[in-house]
A and B are shown apart, each in its own frame.
Chain A
Amino acid sequence: MSARPLLSLFLFRIAFPVLALCAALTGKLEAEIDPAAPERIDLTNFPGELVDKVVVPIPAEIFAVLDKLDEPDWNSGIELPAESGAGRDRAILALTFGSLVGEGFIAVQAKNPDEIQKIGRRVLSLSESLGLSGAVRPHSLAIVEAAGKSDWAKVRDELDATQQTVRTTMERLRDDELSGLVSLGGWLRGTNVVTSFISNSFSEDKAELLNQPGLLAHFRSMLGSMKGPSGKTPQIRAISTGLARLEAIINQSAAIGEEDVNQLREISRAMLDEYYFVKP
């Protein structure tokens, strides 16, 4: 056993719980300063308003944990498909845009400036197909520039900002469905690469990262409520079926096992094959 897995084991099984316990004790002391802070609330009978909006985590949030647990070869995870933007359905373009941003997060983790710069330019090109190049251009330029300076935190910020700008612009144009598809595309690309790395070197701590039933339910509901012809295309139907299969695996047992991860990887890959890794 190399030193890295031992360190991960120490961090996750011993150091984090001890730190959390210390912090919890500290937190309790601080809570006494603010007696209004409740120790427990009844979620089944909450006396207020449940906010509908779901903020989807960016792939970098999961990648950050994976980096603490292991040393994934992020360069092996980069897989930029051939360009094929023109003439495609806007829903597919939105999904592809999100996945391309997800690809950017993988390239940042790999600290690969050449790939990031390629992705930055591709993001701009795709935004032209979506009619949003004016909003995206400053971010694209900032991504290329920051990658040239190896300023990885800045690249991550700009990738997040690119996605957010596109989503906000779509929402202003009353294209809320497209906005949600951008998030789904990014999440799917991130999930697929994470499942690949976990399959290659399985551990329960890593597999737990895939426990995201709330997000899966959100994406399924989003696709189910899509109106218009985009929601009935074979690709969207296939992605919807794929989400249902992912959800079934995640919900079937308390802990996600090695075989579950393999299935999650294959299903998420098949979903990406529908629109992202599609042959030109």
Chain B
Amino acid sequence: MNLTKNRRPVRLTLLALGGFILLGGPLHGFVNEAISLALEAATPYVEQGFEVREDNWSGEVEPGKPLLIRHQLFRGNEYWFWAGTSWPGATIKVDIFDNEGNSVGLESFAKDSFAGVRCLPQKTATYFIRVVASYEKEREGLTAAERGANDPVDGVGEFSGSLDWGLVYGYR
């Protein structure tokens, strides 16, 4: 994790943490903020009967560099994949493709630090989920909310060149 980066407002973090606890996530010594945001995006879908998996994918990536994740899906289930990034002002997108590279996403959304894509697999096979985290704003262009609750001290909150990302999924 990048320890020098600016943090989102406390309210959002608490909300994400609440969602994480509600979803039965394990509480460890730290909270992966990107995963917490992805789980926050998943929360409304849990009420629709989606079971969200505990296992997930996360890491850091250069802005704009696409990530490709392989995953086994089963025909007969419906899936949602939710992605998140916690860097203030960064955005994230998620798409899904079959093993020939054709888009199979049926519905999607991307709003700032959250994104999601829904899929109804036409065959039981390995699918590919593409995640792209982007960051274009200069720090000066950020709103107070994006900068966080407090102004950072010198050197803290400067963009280090990589963004955190997290991806979770649910099925029903």
A209 and B74 form a contact (CB under 8 A): yes
Shortest distance from the beta carbon of B93 to any chain A beta carbon, whole Å? 7
Number of chain B residues whose Cβ lies closer than 8 Å to a Cβ of chain A? 49
Chain A contacts with B in 24-76, Cβ cutoff 8 A: 24, 26-27, 30-31, 34, 36-43, 46-51, 53-58, 60-62, 64-65, 68-69
Mask, B116-138, CB within 8 Å of A = 1, is: 00001011111010100000000
A161 and B106 form a contact (CB under 8 A): no
Give the complex CA separation of A92 and B22 in angstroms: 33
B26 and A55 form a contact (CB under 8 A): no
A46: which B residues are within 8 A, CB to CB? 66, 68
Chain B contacts with A in 83-117, Cβ cutoff 8 A: 93, 95, 97, 99-103, 105-108, 110
Given A60-B51, A158-B24: A55 and B102 within 8 A (CB)?
no
Q: Please tell me if B54 contacts chain A, counting CB pairs below 8 Å.
A: yes
Given A49-B66, A54-B70: A41 and B97 within 8 A (CB)?
yes
A69 and B103 form a contact (CB under 8 A): no
Task: Identify the interface centre among B53, B76, B130: most chain A CB within 10 Å of its CB.
Answer: B76
27 contacts across the A-B interface (CB closer than 8 A): A20-B122, A26-B107, A36-B93, A37-B95, A38-B103, A39-B103, A40-B97, A41-B97, A41-B103, A41-B128, A46-B66, A46-B68, A47-B66, A48-B66, A49-B67, A54-B70, A55-B53, A55-B169, A56-B72, A57-B72, A58-B53, A65-B74, A68-B76, A161-B24, A163-B54, A208-B75, A209-B76
A→B interface (CB under 8 Å): 12, 16-17, 19-20, 23-24, 26-27, 30-31, 34, 36-43, 46-51, 53-58, 60-62, 64-65, 68-69, 153-154, 156-158, 160-161, 163-165, 167-168, 205, 208-215
